[in-house]
Every structure is written in structure tokens, then in C-alpha cells.
Structure 1
Amino acid sequence: MRFRRKKKASTRLTLVLVSLLIMIVVSLYYVNSRLMPVYLEYAEVQTEKVASYVVSKAINSRTSSVLDVNDIIVDLPPGTSEMVTTKFNTDIINQVRAETTSLVKEYLEQAENGDLAHLPNLENVEYDVGRMEAGDGIVFFVPLGQALNLPILGNLGPRIPIRFHIIGNVHSSVESTIEEFGINNAYVAVSIHLEVNVQIIIPFASKSAKVEQYIPVAIGLIRGTVPHIYTDGGGEGVQPSLEVPVPYD
């Protein structure tokens, strides 16, 4: 009789422990699934900070600085008409583009290999140099309270690992904007559009993201010949003409 009672008690205890274990697992899964988007969003923000810092540091180390737009403008000899045609000096632009892209790639590779000199010193962020030197990409830890934006916890709680690495090569393209400025003048800006694709990895999830930056190559004002008569074509109806006095010999 006592043996049967002990067996029943043991069976009940086993059922209670198994049920408790299942409840804990289900609760952890539910909490993790609800918090996963928060983790990913926070990891993406921190990753963009780190990657943007590395890119900016590479750009600042360039030998070339921002040029005057007139330094990259070439005037073509006039043909049958008296109009002067201009074009960009692609040799200078491509040289700056190649130098910038190469430096950004080099700095990102050095950062992934554990060179802390190329990484920002962010508050409450600890880099895992060992894993970085082992080729796991850029790895850092942040407190759980900071990742969840819970001021009560602050820097308490387990430290969440965040890892990201570069996917493919650094992509770059040249973009230019031209805006009308005054009478027959144009404000021109030529820049390099850099794109760095990264893979962000946190416990039980990963996400691809893109870090973008625009690097100015040349900025300035191109002055054209002021016409003798100027008419504003905007608006409706007949527009008044402005006549510029021309000196005569």
C-alpha cells in the first residue's frame, strides 16, 4: 500500500515538473518572439552607427578633399554656334571614387579583423575582439536593459551579442545635382553614393540591412554668360523682359 502511494506521489511530482518545464519553455518562446523585433531594430541602429563611423573615418583619411566644381569642368571648343559646351572631367571623378571605395573597403575589413582603432567607442558597448580576430565579423555586446529601452534595468541583465559582417563588395556610384541659380548660373554638386550591405545576426534571428552615405566630390557655382535680354518663363500670361545695358565702344 505504501509502495503504491509513493509511486502515485512520484508520478504526480514527475507530471508537475514536466508541466512546469513545458510552461517555462512556452513562456520563453512567447517572450522571445515578442521581443525579437525590438532586438533586431536595436541591432540595426547600433550596426548603422558602427558602420557609418568606419566609413566616415575612411573618408576623412583620403588624400583628396572636396574640390571646386570648376576643377572638374572641361569646356569644349565651340562648333558652328557661339555656345560653349561643358562636361565633367570623368578621369578626376573616377580617381576620387576609386580611392574612396578602396579606403572604405580596407577600413571595414580591418574593423572586422578586430582593429579597435577603426571602431567607435559607444556607451555600454563591449567588443568581442577574440571572435572578431577569428573572422566572425564585428561582434559586440549590449545590456538587455539598454536593448529593450528599460531605464529601470539600465545596464543590468544579460548582455546580448550582436554580430554583423559585410556582404559582397562596397558599391559606389556617381551622382550629380544641378540647380538654377540667378541668371544663367547653375549650382552643381557631384557626390559619390556608397552602399554597404551587411548581415545582422542576433540570437535566433538575422536580418540584411544597407548602410548608405553620400560623399561630396565637388561643389560650386558655374557662371554662364548673362544674356542681353532675360525673360522669366515661369507663370502664366505675358512675362516682362529684362534688358541688360550693353556698353558700346
Structure 2
Amino acid sequence: MRKIKIKRLKKLRLLLILLIAIASIYLGAQYVYHYVEPQLQAVAKQKVSFAINNIVKEVLADMEYRQEDLIEVKHVGEQFVDVEYDSYELNQILYTALNTIDASLLAAQDGKEDPTTEAVFYKEGIVFEIPLGYLSHLFFLHDKGPTIPVRMKIINDVNGEIRIENEAYGVNSTLMKIVLEISVNAEVLTYLSTTPLQVTSELPLVVQIINGKVPEMTPYTITE
């Protein structure tokens, strides 16, 4: 009888340990899902957004064009008459920008050498490594613990448009801007989640004050 009781006690202990282990795993998973994972998503999205913006701006900074080739402001004497846009040149800038940025982002995603700058932006495609202590919001744990790598995956081709904006400036003048806008769709990848992300970057190609009123123009749009 005593041996049977001991065996039963052992079975009960094992069952209790198993139940505690299952409960601990469940509670841990709930903690990760409700607390850690949303924070991880937010930080990862911020880092990938920053990375994409940096790559886009670095690529655009290497583009060569002459502002005076993009528009021609016509006057009769000192009176503004018309403004002409070189739509072919603007479309060429947009086409080149989209292709160059697309190639650079794919190279960064795969941890390869950038075709424009010849630099490797992110070794092995890791944009950032988040220490677990960073998610605690405690200063002394900020850079402690194992790290979670953050990667990005570019979805579809890069989109963009050239937008012409006019606004009143002073009594009888117009502030005219020609802006190159780039839109990138990506996924933020961590061990715990995959999160969609859209990043938009802008580069002013022309900023000019014109004496007189300039008519509104329809934006140029190219999507590869």
C-alpha cells in the first residue's frame, strides 16, 4: 500500500510540474504577444523606416541634373507670361530614380554591395539588432540581453511621382516647387512577426519664387 501511495504521489508531482510548465509557457506567450511583440513591432518599423529613408536620400543625392533645364520662366519685360516644364527631362529623372532606388533597396535587403555607392549598407541584410533589455524601457537594461535581428523585404517595385506645387508668396508672387516623391512598400521582419510598412520620401528638385501667378499643373506620375 505504501509503495502504491508513493507512486501516486510521484505521478501527482509530475502532473503538477507538467501543469505548471504548461501554464508558465502559456503566460509567457501571452506576455510576449500582448506586451513585447507590439513594442518590438514599433521599434522595428521605426528602424526600417529610417533605413529606407537613408538609402533613398543617399541615392537621390548622387543624381545629377540642372534646375535650369527643368523649367523655363517666360517674361515680357518684367511681367510674367508663362512657365514651361520639360516633361521629358522630369520623366527621365523619375524613371532613373525609381530604377536606381529599387536596385539599391534590393541590395540592402540581401546584404549585398550597393550598385550606386558600392557600399554594403546592412551586413547580411540585418537593419538593426534590438536587445531584449531595450524593450523594458529601463535605462540600465537598454543595451542588455540577447538581440533580435530586424530585416526588411521590399514588396513590388518602388513607386513615385513628380509633383508641381504652387502657392501664393507675398502680394503678387508665386512660390513654385517641383518635388520628386518616392514611395516604398516593405515588410518588417523579426523572429516574432512580419509587419507591412510604407515609407514616403521627398526631394525638392526646384524651389523658385516667380513674380506673378502660376497656373496649377497636373502631377506627373510613373509607376513601373
Amino acid corresponding to residue 28 of structure 2 in structure 1: L
8 Å Cα contact 1:174/1:190 also seen in 2: yes
- Say which SS state the counterpart of residue 139 (structure 2) adopts: coil
- Look up the SS of the partner of 1:63 in the other structure: coil
Displacement of 1:224 after TM fit? 4.0
Q: 1:242 matched to which residue of 2?
A: none
Shift of 1:87: 3.1
Aligned twin of 1:5: 5
Match of 1:222 among 205, 210, 214: 210
2:163 is equivalent to residue 175 of structure 1: yes
> Who is 1:42 aligned against?
43
Give CA-to-partner distance per residue, 1:139-182, whole Å, 9 cap, x none.
54221112443312122112112221100000001112112234
The reply to whether residue 165 of structure 1 matches residue 153 of structure 2 is yes
1:203 counterpart letter in structure 2: Y
Q: Residue 139 and residue 218 in structure 1: after superposition, are their counterparts in 2 closer, same or farther (change >3 A)?
A: closer
Query: How far apart, in 1, do the equivalents of 2:12 and 2:157 lie?
Result: 60
| 2:53 corresponding residue in structure 1 | 52
Q: Does 1:186 align with 2:174?
A: yes
Give the share of equivalent positions with the same residue, in percent.
21
What is the distance in 1 between the residues matched to 2:204 and 2:136? 36
8 A contact 2:74–2:80 mirrored in 1 = no
Aligned length: 205
Match of 2:28 in 1: 28
Q: Counterpart of 2:222? A: none
1:67-86 pair list within 5 angstroms: 67-68=67-68, 71-73=70-72, 75=74, 84-86=81-83
Give the TM-score taking structure 1 as reference length. Answer: 0.73
| Mapped partners of 2:64, 2:160: distance in 1 | 18
Q: Structure 1 or 2: larger helix share?
A: 2
Provide the TM-score with structure 2 as the length reference.
0.81
The reply to whether residue 206 of structure 1 matches residue 180 of structure 2 is no
1:181 is matched by which residue type in structure 2?
Answer: Y
Distance in 2, matches of 1:128 and 1:7, equals 57
Alignment of 1:88-127 (within 5 A): 88-115=85-112, 117-119=119-121
